Amino acid sequence: MYCEGYDELDLRPLLVVFCAERPRNPGEGTMAPSIEPVCRSLLSPHAPLEPLSQDELARIHAASLDVLQDVGMDILHPEARDILAKAGAWVDDERVRFPRELVEEAVARAPSRFRLWHHDESAYLEFGGNAINLGLIASAPYCSDLAGGRRPGTIADLAKLTRLADNLPAVRMICGYPVEPQDLPAPTRHLDAVHAFLTLSTKPCHAYSLGGARIRDALEMIKIVRGVDEAALAARPSLISIINTSSPLRLDHPMADGMMVMAQAGQPVGITPFTLSGAMSPVTLAGALVQQNAEALAAVALMQIVAPGAPVLYGGFTSNVDMRSGSPAFGTPEYARAALAGGQLARYEGLPYRSSNVNASNTVDAQAAYESMTALWAAIMGHANLIMHGAGWLEGGLTSSYEKVVLDAEMYDRIEATLTPLPEEAWNFDPADLAAMPRPEEALTEDSLQPLQEAYASWRPEPAVQRAAREVQRLVADHRPPPLDPARLAALDGFVARRKHEGGAEAA
């Protein structure tokens, strides 16, 4: 049940899983289809788990503002530095220091919730409060399946993983390249990838902020497919981009550039510092969270100065490294605590929250599953509005596993079912029904046991990964791309051909 006092944290009505029946926000866009769009987010019926006290939260917040004011952050984008200087920041070469009030006032402009739309506007995802959304794995250089083993990603694998995700209700959105299409040239790779996302699924998708040009291409392609103009796209965004700071305390040029283009187009970005305790962050959790908060707030502040009110997610990716090998550890207690605390920090700053479903196993085994379950539960109990890498992540993110996509979706489906309240009628029960139950010796007779014994005799151990491999085959074979107007498809193809002819992102 809900805690008393949690309502102040902007909680949605309880015990409702799908929010289709909630009234739409007024003026939300002009592209309303004839069918009322449905919300595809899971709404948690439970208050979030919060490991930090209010005092600890306030101390982390204050320390992160001290860091931005006294130490500052390298912003490797000259125009962004000029904008920040005009807003009152102190700029010294690439280092920018932020007055405390500047950060607090800018961050306060960010909305505490926003929506992301399916490209056909039939459905949307809610980000904020207790709404939770699972995304597909992103950015793995390799992919693997039982039959083919591990190999570098290709555009064919990217398309196949997109089909798989489109056919899995648990996966709510595409969060980046599910595997890096290494067979395509870098300057035009984004055109083929976004083309695949838009023609194989209506689920919201992602473009990488590797400079503004790639983002502008993705925005154009989405406008073509949706048949909308800039204003309508801004009113109902359907593209997201994840911005990673280069920890410690640096925001690179391409990321800043992409972020500003996204913000001006009204499309949400997730700001995620990659703060690994013992590597690019202090070894203590407190130190890593202070750094995470400082880096996230600096990027959010820049974004909100450029485009006040632009939708944004506060991202947490804090974990620890294995101090013997230097490998990132995931799904550990340190990770889970940081993920829960990250949710508290995001709510403290008034921002929606992004976490992940990660593990450090290098095969689809018990460890992969229990580390993923740890990360999933921490994300869900921490009210992560976006769970990045929600399905398919293996080997610390190096590999996108087809079988793990299916198993992660299975895990998430089960958690979602557990958190979906039963209808009121489900609790009716007539005590007389129990009087009619068969006695133990009536229920367990030779005849009733025989089929069970036969079922048991034919039951052979089969690792879940083998079952999942069959399910991958079935789901990909069954997949049918969503209908797309032929004129729009032709326009999309034409845009991609033209931009390839121009040289892609390098010509921007």
Residue in the structure block whose two tokens are 């283009």: 261
| 422 DSSP assignment | P
Task: Find the binder of a copy of itself among 210, 358, 364, 386 (CB under 8 A).
Answer: 364
Tell me how far apart the alpha carbons of residues 200 and 156 are, in angstroms, rounded to a whole number: 12
Of residues 368-387, which lie at the interface with a copy of itself (CB under 8 A)?
Answer: 368-370, 372-374, 377-378
Residues 60, 345 contacting (CB under 8 angstroms): yes
Beta strands across the sheet bearing 239-245? 42-43, 131-136, 386-391, 353-356, 312-315, 269-273, 239-245, 205-206
Q: Which stretch binds a copy of itself (CB under 8 A): 28-36, 192-200, 357-365, 472-480?
A: 357-365
- List the one residue from 8, 33, 34, 456 that touches a copy of itself (CB under 8 A): 456
Long-range Cβ pairs for the range 361-365 (8 Å, 24+)? 361/394, 361/395, 362/394, 362/395, 362/399, 363/394, 364/394, 364/401, 364/403, 364/404, 364/407, 364/464, 364/465, 364/468, 365/465
Please tell me the distance from the alpha carbon of residue 249 to that of residue 272, in angstroms, as a whole number: 12
Q: Which stretch binds a copy of itself (CB under 8 A): 81-89, 211-219, 222-230, 273-281?
A: 273-281
Query: Where does this chain touch a copy of itself (CB under 8 A) — which range of 114-122, 182-190, 257-265, 430-438?
Result: 430-438
Residue 440 lies near a copy of itself (rule: CB under 8 A): yes
Task: Report how far residue 151's alpha carbon sits from residue 141's, in angstroms, rounded to the nearest whole number.
Answer: 9
Q: Which of 11, 31, 63, 491 is the binder for a copy of itself (CB under 8 A)?
A: 63
* Position 98 contacts a copy of itself (CB under 8 A): no
The β-bridge partners of 145 are 149
Name the one range near a copy of itself by CB under 8 A: 33-41, 154-162, 185-193, 424-432.
Answer: 424-432
Of 360, 363, 356, nearest to 397 by C-alpha is: 360
Using CB under 8 A as the binding criterion, the count of chain residues that bind a copy of itself stands at 97
Residue with tokens 């068969």: 438
Tally of CB atoms within 10 A around 506 = 12
Site residues for a copy of itself, 129-188, by CB under 8 A, read: none
The alpha carbon of residue 400 and the mean position of all alpha carbons in its chain are separated, in whole angstroms, by: 15
Cβ-based nearer residue to a copy of itself, 433 or 446: 433
CA angle 21-28-19, nearest 5°? Answer: 20
Q: How far apart, in whole angstroms, are the C-alpha atoms of residue 26 and residue 431?
A: 48
Query: Within its chain, how far is the Cα of 18 from the centroid?
Result: 19
Q: Which is nearer to a copy of itself, 431 or 483 (CB)?
A: 431
Q: Interface mask (CB under 8 A) for a copy of itself, residues 5-24, using x and -?
A: x-------------------
Distance CA 388, CA 296 (A): 17
Among 86, 414, 470, 498, interactor with a copy of itself by CB under 8 A: 414
Q: Kindly state whether residue 210 participates in binding a copy of itself, applying the rule CB under 8 A.
A: no
Give least dist CB 14 to a copy of itself, A: 10
Q: Binding segment for a copy of itself among 185-193, 197-205, 307-315, 419-427 (CB under 8 A)? A: 419-427
Q: Binding a copy of itself by CB under 8 A: which of 421, 490, 494, 497?
A: 421
The pair of three-digit structure tokens given for residue 272, joined into one six-digit string = 């995620």
Q: Please identify which residue in 147, 434, 457, 477 interacts with a copy of itself, judged by CB under 8 A.
A: 434
Considering only 39, 42, 43, 49, the residue that binds a copy of itself (CB under 8 A) is 49
Write the binding mask 212 to 251 for a copy of itself: x where contact by CB under 8 A, - elsewhere: ----------------------------------xxxxx-
State which residue, 430 or 478, has the beta carbon closest to a copy of itself.
430
Residue 287 binds to a copy of itself (criterion: CB under 8 A): yes
For residues 302 and 75, the answer to whether their CB atoms sit within 8 Å is yes
Indicate which single residue of 23, 33, 147, 325 sits in contact with a copy of itself (rule: CB under 8 A): 325
Query: CB within 8 A of 75, min separation 6: which ones?
Result: 81, 84, 94, 96, 251, 256, 298, 302
**Residue placing its CB nearer to a copy of itself in the complex, 238 or 275:** 275
CA distance 204 to 210: 19
Least spacing, CB of residue 120 vs a copy of itself, in Å = 30
Using the rule CB under 8 A, which residue among 66, 229, 493, 506 binds a copy of itself?
A: 66
The piece of 99-107, 135-143, 152-160, 330-338 that touches a copy of itself (CB under 8 A) is 330-338
Complex with a copy of itself: residue 219 or 411, whichever CB lies closer: 411
Is 92 an interacting residue with respect to a copy of itself (CB under 8 A)?
A: no
